[in-house]
Amino acid sequence: MRKLWMIVALLLPVAALAQQVEYAYGSDPAQKLDLSLPAAKGFATVVFVHGGSLESGDKTDSDYGKVCEPFPAAGLGCANVNYRLAPAPWPAQAEDVAAAIAWVHSHIGAHGGDPGKIFLLGHSSGALLVALVGSDARYLARHGRKLSDLRGVIPMGSIMRDDDLDQAVAARGRDYVAAHFLDDPSNRLYGSFQAYQEHWPVRHVHPGLPPFLFLIAESEQVNPPVLKTDREFVEEARKLGNQADYKVLAGRKHYTAIRQLQQPGDAVFAIILEFVRRHSAP
């Protein structure tokens, strides 16, 4: 009996991994996603986008490789997305996220999911990407999709605008800041000051957004000003008739907020699950 128990224990991880399959949503080697599926039918699907300052990170690394693990047991699908990283110039990263969402919308039905129940979840720079693609309709429109195809957006751990740069503009004027923007090598990814400004989600708040829930680790509220800029997005969205809210995650830091999702009883996963279930209802 003991030997049988050991054999079963060894087989369990293999069975769990068999539920996760990699698919290409584009022709570039980076345009891949891992799809994890529940046994149910008509399920909602969470599209997860990793962080890494748009220049690093991967769907299989130690920070993000287990993000999708708890979703199938809760009756949800999960797509863990890779995308082109710098030096691929902006907006390749946002365009890839939109392409991955469009792929999920087109293919999830064949896997038993409901294409009308798609949610976005992103961490760090991935949070910026899902917030942008979930608010600037131009990205999904390139794939024949609309913001109304999304049931909800959950950005976790990212500012929604560059407060330091905005203060510099106020102090020195837009023309001066724009003229010197590309002097910083880290800014050259964006090509221009205008493109950089346009990539901040708070600039795209308008009526008709999907519901938003910002998750903010307790330790990252002020530096960088995640709480300040996320709250600005929420307040402006509400003024325009959208559903938007934020939650501060007690006791969490930038990475512990996302790394612990797969742990039994994780409070952050419970918040995400409640949001998805509430907005999956007819």
Low-confidence ranges of the chain (pLDDT < 50): 1-18
Residue 241: predicted pLDDT: 98
Residue 2: predicted pLDDT: 41
Residue 74: predicted pLDDT: 97
- Count of alpha carbons within 13 angstroms of residue 85, beta-carbon side: 17
Angular region, 42: left φ>0, alpha ψ -120 to 50, beta rest: left
Domains of the chain: 19-159+206-280 (3.40.50.1820), 162-199 (no CATH)
**Is the whole-model pTM more than 0.75?**
yes
Nearest-Å Rg of the Cα atoms of the chain is: 19
Secondary structure of the chain: what % helix, strand, coil (to 5)? 45, 20, 35
Residue 282: predicted pLDDT: 82
Residue 187: predicted pLDDT: 94
Q: Which amino acid is at 61?
A: D
DSSP-derived 3-state class of residue 225: coil
Contacts of 29 (CB under 8 A, 6+ apart): none
Cβ atoms 166, 225 nearer than 8 A: no
